[in-house]
Amino acid sequence: MKPINDSLNQLVNKKEFKERLETLKKEVFSDRDVQLFLQEKRHELDEQMVERGLMKMYEFKGQSKRCEQCPSLLSCMNMVKGYQPRLIVDGRNIDIQYERCPRKIKEDERKEQESFIQCLYVPKEILQASMSDIEVEQGRFKAIKLVKDFVREYEPNKKMKALYLHGSFGVGKTYFLGAIANALAEKKVKSTIVYIPEFLRELKGSFQDQTFNEKIEYVKKIPVLMLDDIGAESVTSWMRDDVLGTILQFRMLENLPTFFTSNLNFEQLQHHLTYTQRGEQEELKAARLMERIKALAMPVEMTGENKRSK
């Protein structure tokens, strides 16, 4: 025979277990989302299924739904970060299915949108630019209208002129490029914003690591190219004719839209491109490049306050 103490311990343990089980049931069945599930699935469930599914429902209860208990995606409290639980009936069992939470969906959409935009040597905050945040001012009306028209009408392989946005420092030309890129990304259109002076400096060093052709080919063929701050670079025959000339010639022939920003208007830019660092005056070559720019984009002047000085 077993000692009396063992039998007493078993009775005590059994009693404690029952008490803990009842407490657990009260916790689980008092949960609003569990109640909604049981009510919704009442025709599919029986008492045994509910009993067997108690631990699954307890697991479900202790996690955040609809991001209610998580201050951010990074600090998500759930078992699988960014995924919220949903109770389901799987055969004769209650189970948990994990689905992306609202914050995870939003973050994934943001990353997908950013994947359509490549920024080369441009501040990352430009990726946050949007058309809705552009301040409507007297000196921007035409630019805003033409940008919206372009985004609305854009189709791959359609012959379209982009814009040559020019104006003084800080009027928001680069921000416009970011807003255009984001608006196009919403349509699943890839674009690249390139800060011209730094891009050309990078190309000079790329002969050594043999990536020159790769970089030129990428910029030539991207569906929508945005060249930021043309006219701020030091002019050499190589830069003007072999780099910019090659890129723009290809894009002109292939009907690939190309945006530009500059502090210079067309006349000033042609003068800038005429004189090289060596003091050479090459009017014909400068005019040839300008013809390609004019074929790709229409000039739009932007005026207004210097936003950087605020």
Could you give the CA distance from residue 116 to residue 105 in angstroms, rounded to a whole number?
Answer: 17
Report phi then psi at 218, rounded to 5: -60, -50
Per-domain residue ranges of the chain: 4-103, 116-309
Query: Residue 43: what pLDDT?
Result: 92
pLDDT tens digits for range 163-197: 999 999 888 899 999 999 999 998 999 999 999 99
Which two three-digit tokens encode residue 31?
């949960």
pLDDT tens digits for range 53-68: 999 999 999 898 888 8
- Closest by CA position to 26, among listed 57, 64, 63: 57
The DSSP line for 178-222 is HHHHHHHHTTT--EEEEEHHHHHHHHHHTTTTT-HHHHHHHHHHS
pLDDT tens digits for range 220-239: 999 999 999 999 998 999 99
Question: What average pLDDT does the chain have?
Answer: 87
With beta carbons less than 8 A apart as the criterion, state whether 279 and 285 touch.
no
Residues of the chain above pLDDT 90, percent: 55
116-309 CATH fold: Rossmann fold (3.40.50)
Report phi then psi at 69, rounded to 5: -105, 5
With beta carbons less than 8 A apart as the criterion, state whether 98 and 59 touch.
no
pLDDT tens digits for range 275-293: 998 888 999 999 999 999 9
More confident residue, 278 or 246: 246
Judged against a pLDDT cut of 70, whether residue 14 lies above it is answered with no
Could you give the CA distance from residue 195 to residue 172 in angstroms, rounded to a whole number?
Answer: 14
Could you give the CA distance from residue 292 to residue 295 in angstroms, rounded to a whole number?
Answer: 5
At 21, is the pLDDT very low, low, confident or very high (cuts 50, 70, 90)?
Answer: confident
Lowest mean pLDDT among 71-80, 109-118, 285-294: 109-118
Planar angle of CA 21, 22, 28, nearest 5 degrees: 90
Distance between start and end Cα atoms, the chain: 90
Is the dihedral angle over the CA atoms 66, 68, 74, 76 positive or is it negative? negative
Calculate mean pLDDT across residues 211-217: 86
